[in-house]
């Protein structure tokens, strides 16, 4: 008996549950984008376009919601960014007819890198993500639009993001779609093929891929996360579905360790009524 065949039926069943109706997703998410931006008294959005599938899907949804003339796509390459990233981002800009801008971040990043010669790739990646956030928030004022988030549910749960970098945004339209679901939406929206097939990468250094850095595939981790989060399985119950018990534990440890990235910083309570504790209004209140 081979190691994996007994669980093929389970895997197929979970994969089926991760299948989405892209028309409903598009309807709800374009409505959300329109609603959030109009409630803020605006009609435009600013979006960092990396050449990857997440920001491409966000760009397609934004263009459908607001009209391409109201979406500013900003490409922000560093000198080591791959040429494919720029050309894939350009393919999206051309396909949708978005307003666009290219702002090199090399000249901003390198002076800081030079002050710390021992700086790791991780630190450099975080700095680049925060510089891109700075550029987008500046363009937010110049263009008069909200900064569109491009984070998916997998990376939000795993904390595979830079706090106040790519997570520093005004709204998150695709934050409840796992990576494997996002791929289905990308195909339905007609995102260019080259973006759909290439391995996901933060492109922070040459040859980096998400799955290489994370140490597992999106196909596997999405199934584990779906069972743990959406279906409320226990860790043991997930392992019983045929997933390696250590892998399941490691994923959950990662979700827990990165929860701080998904919440606002705690405020120490002193008064009778404190922001974040008992001053309770929706963000949409204003």
> Residues 6, 9, 35, 199: which binds other proteins (CB under 8 A)?
35
Does 263 interact with other proteins (rule: CB under 8 A)? no
Order of strands across the sheet with 146-147? 99-102, 71-75, 45-48, 146-147
Does 13 interact with other proteins (rule: CB under 8 A)? no
CA distance 48 to 73: 6
Does 27 interact with other proteins (rule: CB under 8 A)? yes
Cβ atoms of 149 and 181 closer than 8 Å: no
CA distance 175 to 153: 5
Cβ atoms of 218 and 184 closer than 8 Å: no
> Residues 6, 31, 67, 276: which binds other proteins (CB under 8 A)?
31
Does 36 interact with other proteins (rule: CB under 8 A)? yes
Which part of the chain contacts other proteins (CB under 8 A), choosing from 30-38, 72-80, 87-95, 212-220?
30-38
Which part of the chain contacts other proteins (CB under 8 A), choosing from 78-86, 98-106, 254-262, 276-284?
276-284
Q: How far is CA 44 from CA 33, 54, 92, 152, in A?
A: 10, 19, 18, 21
Nearest CA among 144, 150, 113 for reference residue 44 = 144
> Residues 3, 83, 197, 280: which binds other proteins (CB under 8 A)?
280
CB of 32 to other proteins, least distance (A): 6
Tell me whether residue 47 or residue 202 sits nearer to other proteins (CB atom).
47
Does 268 interact with other proteins (rule: CB under 8 A)? no
Residues 113-172 that bind other proteins (CB under 8 A): 172
CA distance 64 to 33: 10
Does 284 interact with other proteins (rule: CB under 8 A)? yes
Residues 236-255 that bind other proteins (CB under 8 A): none
> Residues 6, 13, 21, 245: which binds other proteins (CB under 8 A)?
21
Does 28 interact with other proteins (rule: CB under 8 A)? yes
Tell me whether residue 38 or residue 259 sits nearer to other proteins (CB atom).
38
The H helix count followed by the E strand count for the chain is 13, 4
Backbone torsion region of residue 45, taken as left when φ is above 0, otherwise alpha when ψ lies between -120 and 50, otherwise beta: beta
CB of 170 to other proteins, least distance (A): 12
How many Cβ atoms from other residues are within 10 Å of residue 3's Cβ? 7
Nearest CA among 34, 5, 6, 17 for reference residue 223 = 17
Write the DSSP string, 56-71.
HHHHHHHHHHH-GGGE
> Residues 7, 32, 113, 216: which binds other proteins (CB under 8 A)?
32
Positions in the binding site for other proteins (CB under 8 A): 16-17, 19-21, 24-25, 27-28, 31-32, 35-36, 172, 279-285
């Amino acid at each position: 008996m081979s190691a994996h065949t007994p669980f093929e039926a389970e895997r197929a069943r979970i994969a089926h549950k991760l299948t989405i109706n892209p028309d409903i997703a598009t309807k709800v998410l374009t409505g959300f984008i329109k609603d959030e931006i109009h409630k803020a008294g605006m009609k435009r959005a600013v979006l960092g376009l990396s050449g990857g599938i997440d920001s491409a899907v966000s760009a397609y949804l934004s263009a459908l919601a607001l009209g391409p003339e109201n979406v500013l796509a900003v490409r922000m390459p560093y000198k080591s960014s791959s040429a494919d990233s720029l050309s894939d981002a350009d393919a999206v800009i051309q396909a949708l007819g978005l307003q666009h801008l290219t702002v090199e971040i090399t000249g901003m990043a390198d002076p800081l890198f030079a002050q710390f010669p021992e700086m790791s790739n991780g630190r450099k990646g975080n700095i680049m993500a925060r510089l891109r956030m700075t550029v987008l928030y500046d363009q937010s004022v110049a263009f008069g639009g909200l900064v569109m988030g491009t984070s998916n549910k997998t990376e939000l749960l795993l904390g595979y993001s830079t706090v106040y970098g790519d997570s520093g945004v005004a709204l998150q339209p695709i934050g409840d779609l796992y990576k494997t679901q996002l791929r289905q939406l990308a195909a339905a929206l007609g995102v260019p093929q080259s973006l759909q097939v290439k391995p996901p990468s933060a492109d922070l250094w040459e040859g980096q891929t998400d799955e290489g850095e994370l140490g597992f595939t999106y196909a596997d981790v999405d199934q584990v996360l779906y069972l743990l989060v959406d279906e409320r399985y226990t860790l043991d119950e997930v392992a019983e579905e045929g997933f390696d018990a250590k892998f399941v534990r490691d994923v959950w440890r990662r979700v827990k360790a990165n929860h701080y990235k998904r919440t606002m910083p705690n405020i120490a309570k002193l008064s009778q009524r404190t922001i974040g504790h008992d001053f309770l209004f929706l963000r949409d209140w204003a």
